[in-house]
């Protein structure tokens, strides 16, 4: 089954304790991306990657890191989490077609609470 | 300032009637628009898209209309079904900004039986 898998689905942690949210896709997609969803703001793009070893900042990259060492994996790293990073996070992937206009497939989300 | 706006946080429609969800954008450089549907505890799923060179795209019960001069697009669902009850997100991108997608805040649609 084609899917984007995020882990963990839920995490409660404390300020300053490094954490990683993993994202894996089995569709051989070149493009992967991370979003956060906050009430009234919709989904805001954090980082995206067009292919292995290629990453770019989205609209809200501060406080986050990503890496793309393998095509299928795109982990999101919070080196020193803070309460304002409490949010619902989504990973997405897609092919990169002509013009890059391919719909994204989303994971089911990771709810992070930073105390 | 939000570049993609969905000014109606919620909408209720009777089953069988038409649902119209609206989206406005401010950036004239956007050249591709998508609609996603999201159920609780799931990720968004792609619904329909439209390129800026078109003014209409249809897929079954779903039609998206684009008015570039007004920087406005709308999603029409006809006929509406209870299973359409979800949050709908409008998204936009521009070739000038690479693969940066901008999403609106979403509209919660409730289709009443």
Predicted confidence (pLDDT) per residue in A31-56, tens digit: 999 999 998 888 999 999 989 999 99
SS3 state at A85: helix
- The residue of chain A with its CA nearest to that of B93 is A101
Q: For residue A96, what pLDDT band results from cuts at 50, 70 and 90?
A: confident
Interface test with B, best of A42, A100, A107, A110 (most B CBs within 10 A): A42
- Contact yes or no for B95 and A100 at CB 8 A: yes
**Is the pLDDT at A18 greater than 80, yes or no?**
yes
Q: What pLDDT, on a 0 to 100 scale, did the predictor assign at position A41?
A: 86
CA of A80, closest CA in chain B: separation in Å? 25
Chain A residue numbers touching B30 (CB-CB < 8 A): none
Structure-token pair, residue B45: 């799923």
DSSP 8-state assignment for residue A16 = T
Return phi, psi of residue B95, to 5°: -60, -25
**Is the pLDDT at A65 greater than 70, yes or no?**
yes
Question: Quick check: A79 contacting B, CB < 8 Å?
Answer: no
Chain B residue numbers touching A66 (CB-CB < 8 A): none
Chain A residue numbers touching B88 (CB-CB < 8 A): none
Count Cα atoms within 13 angstroms, Cβ side, for B81.
5
Extended strands (E) in chain B: 4-5, 10-14, 19-25, 32-38, 45-51, 56-59, 62-67, 72-77, 86-93, 102-103, 107-112
Question: Quick check: A97 contacting B, CB < 8 Å?
Answer: no
| Residue-by-residue pLDDT tens, chain B, 113 positions | 679 999 999 999 999 999 999 999 998 989 899 999 999 989 999 999 999 999 999 999 999 999 999 999 999 999 999 999 999 999 998 876 666 788 999 999 999 99
Q: What pLDDT, on a 0 to 100 scale, did the predictor assign at position B101?
A: 83
**Is the pLDDT at A97 greater than 90, yes or no?**
no
- Alpha-carbon gap, residue B52 to B33, rounded angstroms: 8
């Amino acid at each position: 089954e084609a899917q984007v898998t995020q882990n963990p689905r839920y995490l409660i942690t404390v300020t300053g304790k490094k954490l990683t949210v993993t994202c894996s896709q089995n569709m051989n997609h070149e493009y992967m991306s991370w979003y956060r969803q906050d009430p009234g703001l919709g989904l805001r793009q954090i980082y995206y990657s067009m292919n292995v070893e290629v990453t770019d900042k989205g609209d809200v990259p501060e406080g986050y890191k990503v890496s793309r060492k393998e095509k299928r994996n795109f982990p999101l790293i919070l080196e020193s989490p803070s309460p304002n990073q409490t949010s619902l996070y989504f990973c997405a992937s897609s092919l990169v077609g002509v013009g890059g206009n391919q719909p994204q497939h989303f994971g089911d989300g990771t709810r992070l609470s930073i105390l | 300032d939000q570049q993609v706006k969905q000014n109606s946080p919620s909408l209720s429609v009777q089953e069988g009637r038409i649902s119209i969800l609206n989206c406005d954008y401010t950036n004239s450089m956007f050249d591709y628009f998508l609609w996603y549907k999201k159920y609780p505890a799931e990720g968004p799923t792609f619904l329909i898209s439209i390129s800026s060179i078109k003014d209409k795209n249809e897929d079954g019960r779903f039609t998206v209309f684009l008015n570039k001069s007004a920087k406005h697009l709308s999603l029409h669902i006809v006929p509406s079904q209870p299973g359409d009850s979800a949050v709908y997100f409008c998204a936009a991108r521009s070739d000038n900004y690479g693969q940066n997608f901008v999403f609106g805040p979403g509209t919660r649609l409730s289709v009443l039986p």
